[in-house]
């Protein structure tokens, strides 16, 4: 089958769907080619956080704040309950060393307009009555929010399809060739799309798509394992993270001695509750190729950790475990914008652990760039050419 479209989007994860949605809104004809199933990549195996507190002051934080502002309007446009909630977030601080690092981090974030505070033990316990007695303090931001990525993707798919978007599942892109003034994208043997523009939104597989056009897109899979509990009533007011891992990125000397296994799996901590009452407990950051299995030992580590922070979790059952591949770029920041050497081809990938949060701001920006609108310069720091 041969199709003629304005834009071919490669990848049916949250980034591809969001970009396609904004392109359809601008009246472009769009097709998505997805190698397996919609949401079968990271977007279907992740937490649901629109977390601002973990973002480094700078473009990462500014874009996350802008993206969060877009969510309420987007949810209204798409209709239905997408699990969007602003429940706030806290980062637990265990000792004085972590406290000092977090105070300076929070100070920097405030300069960018993020509303975030440090709570003392008493104030923290009011919001988290079940937190372990030894916990010293926490940060608190009322703005941290969440959205159900699966429901969001379904709503984007429904809305873009109504606007005329076509989508092919089980359609891995195998070649991308220049044909005169446009591009020919082939998926399987029998499907060819001729188009003016291509958007690479292939998540952790974007490097392989780049190889088809002879361009290095330095993104690797960073596996994350999660434990999902049975549905229970909330045990605290907000979602929770640990300062140990966030502060250690800023000052590695504060990280306590860890086992070789903990280091190998890149153990970290996130503790969030979905709108349906299940807790999502994570997580790991592993260089494990594309092996999507979960390991009993890693899940046990994750559960021991949460029981240390919240002893009440000892009696809560894990009902499922999942793993997904965060698309991690070489410098940890997303890759967004045109590929200079391949006019008409754009990248929207490499959002690592922030793709849900950053999807609206990225999807809209890339759609604008494809349509020759928007402020390309603003996204220059995220352009692929920074790796040249």
Ligand X SMILES: Cc1cc2nc3c(=O)[nH]c(=O)nc-3n(C[C@H](O)[C@H](O)[C@H](O)COP(=O)(O)OP(=O)(O)OC[C@H]3O[C@@H](n4cnc5c(N)ncnc54)[C@H](O)[C@@H]3O)c2cc1C
Please tell me the distance from the alpha carbon of residue 204 to that of residue 223, in angstroms, as a whole number: 10
Stretch that binds ligand X, among 89-97, 102-110, 259-267, 345-353 (CB under 6 A): 345-353
- How far apart are the C-alpha atoms of 327 and 203, rounded to whole Å? 5
- Contacting residue, 89, 224, 337, 363, with ligand X by CB under 6 A: 224
Q: Binders of ligand X among 52-91, rule CB under 6 A?
A: none
Confirm or reject binding of residue 36 to ligand X (CB under 6 A).
Answer: yes
The CA–CA distances, whole Å, from 380 to 250, 334, 336, 362, 385 equal: 25, 11, 8, 13, 9
**Near ligand X by CB under 6 A, which window of 9-17, 85-93, 293-301, 312-320?**
9-17
**Distance in Å, CB of 329 to ligand X, minimum:** 11
Q: How far apart are CA 267 and CA 282, in angstroms?
A: 8
C-beta closer to ligand X: residue 137 or 224: 224
Q: CB under 8 Å to 309, separation ≥6 — which residues? A: 92, 131, 132, 135, 240, 242, 269, 271
Query: Which one, 25 or 292, has the nearer CB to ligand X?
Result: 292
Smallest distance from the beta carbon of 153 to ligand X, in angstroms? 9
What is the enclosing helix (H) or strand (E) of 316? none
337 sits near ligand X (criterion: CB under 6 A)? no
Minimum CB separation from ligand X for residue 168, in Å? 9
Give the span between the Cα atoms of 188 and 303, in whole angstroms: 42
324 makes contact with ligand X (CB under 6 A)? yes
- Report the nearest approach of ligand X to the CB of residue 386 (Å): 18
Alpha-helical regions (H) of the chain: 14-25, 59-78, 96-111, 121-127, 149-162, 206-212, 243-250, 260-265, 296-309, 355-370
Q: Determine the 3-state secondary structure of 176 from DSSP.
A: strand
The single-letter DSSP state of residue 147 is -
Total residues contacting ligand X by CB under 6 A comes to: 43
Phi, psi of 349 (to 5 degrees): -155, 175
Task: Kindly give the pairing relationship between strand 239-242 and strand 89-93.
Answer: parallel
Q: To the nearest whole angstrom, how small is the minimum distance from the Cβ of residue 176 to ligand X?
A: 10
Nearer CB in complex with ligand X: 224/338: 224
Nearest-approach distance from CB 91 to ligand X, in angstroms? 14
Which residue's entry shows tokens 């640990």?
242
Please, which residue, 211 or 340, has the CB nearer to ligand X?
A: 211
CB closer to ligand X, 15 vs 247: 15
- Figure out which of the listed residues 5, 8, 13, 328 binds ligand X, where binding follows CB under 6 A: 13
Out of 84, 205, 271, 310, the residue judged to bind ligand X by CB under 6 A = 205
Site for ligand X in 143-182 (CB under 6 A): 172-173
209 binds ligand X (CB under 6 A): yes
Q: How big is the CA angle at 90 (ends 288 and 67), to the nearest 5 degrees?
A: 70
Residues that bind ligand X (CB under 6 A): 10-16, 33-36, 40-43, 45-49, 172-173, 201-205, 209, 224, 226, 282-283, 324, 326-327, 349, 351-357
């Amino acid at each position: 089958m041969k199709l003629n479209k304005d834009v071919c989007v490669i990848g049916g994860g949250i980034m591809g769907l969001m970009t396609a949605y904004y392109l359809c809104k601008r009246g472009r004809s769009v097709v998505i080619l997805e190698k397996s199933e919609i949401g079968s990549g990271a977007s279907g195996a992740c937490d649901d956080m629109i977390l601002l507190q973990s973002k480094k002051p700078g473009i990462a934080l500014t874009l996350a704040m802008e993206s969060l502002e877009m969510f309420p309007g987007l949810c209204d446009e798409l209709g239905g309950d997408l699990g969007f909630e602003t429940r706030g977030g806290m980062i637990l601080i265990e000792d004085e060393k972590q406290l000092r690092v977090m105070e300076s981090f929070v100070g920097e974030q405030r300069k960018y307009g993020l509303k975030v505070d440090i709570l003392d033990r008493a104030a923290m316990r009011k919001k988290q009555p079940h937190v372990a007695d030894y916990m010293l303090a926490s940060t608190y931001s009322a703005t941290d929010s969440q959205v159900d990525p699966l429901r969001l993707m379904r709503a984007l798919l429904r809305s873009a399809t109504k606007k005329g978007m076509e989508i092919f599942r089980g359609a891995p892109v195998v070649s991308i060739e220049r044909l005169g003034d446009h591009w020919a994208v082939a998926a399987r043997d029998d499907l060819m799309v001729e188009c003016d523009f291509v958007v690479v939104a292939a998540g952790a597989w974007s490097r392989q798509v780049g190889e088809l056009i002879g361009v290095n897109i330095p993104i690797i899979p960073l596996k994350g394992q999660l434990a999902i509990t049975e549905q229970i009533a909330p045990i605290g007011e907000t979602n929770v993270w640990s300062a140990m891992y966030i502060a250690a990125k800023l000052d590695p000397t504060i990280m306590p001695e860890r086992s070789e296994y903990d280091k190998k799996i890149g153990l970290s901590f996130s503790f969030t509750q979905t709108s349906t009452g299940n807790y999502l407990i994570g997580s790991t950051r592993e260089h494990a190729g594309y092996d999507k299995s979960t390991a009993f030992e890693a899940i046990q580590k994750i559960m021991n950790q949460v029981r240390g922070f919240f002893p009440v979790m000892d009696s809560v059952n894990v009902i499922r475990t999942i793993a997904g591949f965060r698309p991690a770029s070489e410098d940890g920041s997303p890759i967004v914008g045109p590929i200079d050497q391949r006019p008409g081809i754009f990248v929207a990938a490499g959002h690592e652990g922030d793709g849900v949060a950053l999807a609206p701001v990225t999807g809209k920006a890339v759609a604008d760039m494809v349509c020759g609108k928007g402020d390309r310069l603003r996204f220059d720091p995220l352009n692929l050419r920074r790796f040249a």
